[in-house]
Amino acid sequence: MSLRFQRLLLILVSVIMIFVAVLLILYNGRKNISYFYTPSELASLKIDIDKKVRLGGFVEKNSFIKITASSFKFKISDDLKSIDVAYQGLLPDLFREGQGAVIEGYMTKNNVLNATSVFAKHDENYMPASIKKGLENTGYWNKNY
């Protein structure tokens, strides 16, 4: 085995060991690395009142209620569970029913999430606005978007 090959082997083995070590750390810390809980995760966890949590999912259809100009109520769902959210403030442009959203706030006693901020999440699909119109006209538009 030539010296260069030994050096190459040494480098590759060390790099792979570092990769494995870091992946193990990340794998065990995945609960803390995830940015938000899904509604089912949040429902199965015992979350302390007055502890900040983030919840992510879809804004449930027909759940959005506008109480005043800057005070809203809606449900965040993942098709399995849904959680009530109350929010006072400005909503992002993309926020609407059926759209993904991440909510940051505190759980209250009656299982309502009191939101301090709301972020809209958008998906990885990009499509011209004109095609959407065409699809709607021909009835091929998937309403879930």
Binding positions for other proteins, rule: CB under 8 A: 4, 7-8, 11-12, 14-15, 18-19, 22, 26, 30, 33-38, 56, 90-95, 102, 117-132, 145
CB of 39 to other proteins, least distance (A): 12
Residue 12 CA to residue 75 CA, distance in Å, equals 50
Decide the pairing of beta strands 52-59 and 65-68. Answer: unpaired
CB of 128 to other proteins, least distance (A): 3
Q: Which long-range contacts (CB under 8 A, 24 or more apart) does 125-134 make?
A: none
CB of 106 to other proteins, least distance (A): 18
C-beta of 64 vs 119, nearer to other proteins:
119
C-beta of 63 vs 100, nearer to other proteins:
100
Q: What is the DSSP string of 19-84?
A: HHHHHHHHHHTHHHHSS-B-HHHHHHS-PPTT-EEEEEEEEPTT--EEEETTEEEEEEE-SS-EEE
C-beta of 110 vs 113, nearer to other proteins:
113
Instruction: List, in order, residues 6 or more apart from 94 with CB less than 8 Å away.
Output: 120, 122
C-beta of 109 vs 118, nearer to other proteins:
118
CB of 73 to other proteins, least distance (A): 18
